[in-house]
C-alpha cells in the first residue's frame, strides 16, 4: 500500500531506514511516513523483478485520500474526520476498490511491477529517489539481510 506521501520522503537510505528506531515527533513523522510508502513502491517493483517468470505478481497502489483513522492522534483529527465523513470525502470503500481490482480483475492477472493510482488504476512512476533498479535492488538486498538477522534472533 503506497501513498502520494511517497513523493516527500525527506531522503532515502535503505540500510539505515529499515533499521531506524529513533524516537521522532510530529514534524519528522511526515517524512518517515513518506519514506515508508516510497519503500513500499520500491520493494514491490523489486519483488516483481525477483519473481519474474513464476506467475506471481507484485504491485503497489495509491488508494487516494481515505478517512481511516491513521492520523487520529493528531490535534483536531477527530473533528476533521467527522467533517470529511459528513461531506462524503475520503470514503475508505473507494480506496479499497483499487486493491480489490488489482487482486481480482483478470486484466491485471499478469500485470506486475506496477504502482497504480486509485484513479482508474493509472500506472504511476515510482518517485525519486526510489526510482531505478539499483536502489530498489539495494532495498531488496537490505530487506533480506534484515530478515535473516531477525530469524537468527528468533530461532
For residue 5, how many other CB atoms are within 10 A of its CB?
Answer: 18
Tell me which of 9 and 90 has the higher pLDDT. 9
Say how many domains are in the chain: 1
pTM of the model: 0.88
Residues 65, 67, 73, 75, Cα dihedral to 10°: 80
Residue 57: predicted pLDDT: 97
Residue 28: pLDDT band (50, 70, 90) is confident
Q: Average model confidence (pLDDT) for the chain?
A: 91
Residue 70: pLDDT band (50, 70, 90) is low
SS3 of residue 123 by DSSP: strand
What is the domain extent for residue 55?
A: 4-154
Amino acid at each position: 500500500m503506497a501513498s502520494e506521501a511517497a513523493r516527500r520522503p525527506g531522503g532515502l537510505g535503505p540500510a539505515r531506514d529499515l533499521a531506524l528506531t529513533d524516537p521522532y515527533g510530529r514534524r519528522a513523522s511526515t517524512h518517515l511516513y513518506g519514506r515508508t510508502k516510497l519503500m513500499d513502491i520500491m520493494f514491490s517493483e523489486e519483488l516483481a523483478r525477483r519473481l519474474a517468470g513464476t506467475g506471481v505478481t507484485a504491485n503497489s497502489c495509491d488508494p487516494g485520500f481515505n478517512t481511516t483513522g491513521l492520523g487520529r492522534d493528531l490535534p483536531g483529527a477527530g473533528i476533521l474526520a467527522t467533517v470529511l465523513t459528513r461531506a462524503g470525502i475520503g470514503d475508505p470503500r473507494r480506496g479499497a476498490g483499487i486493491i480489490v481490482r488489482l487482486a481480482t480483475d483478470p486484466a491485471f492477472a499478469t500485470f506486475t511491477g506496477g504502482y497504480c493510482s486509485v484513479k482508474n488504476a493509472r500506472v504511476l512512476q515510482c518517485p525519486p529517489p526510489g526510482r531505478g533498479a539499483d536502489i530498489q535492488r539495494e532495498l531488496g538486498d537490505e530487506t533480506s539481510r534484515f530478515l535473516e538477522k531477525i530469524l537468527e534472533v528468533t530461532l
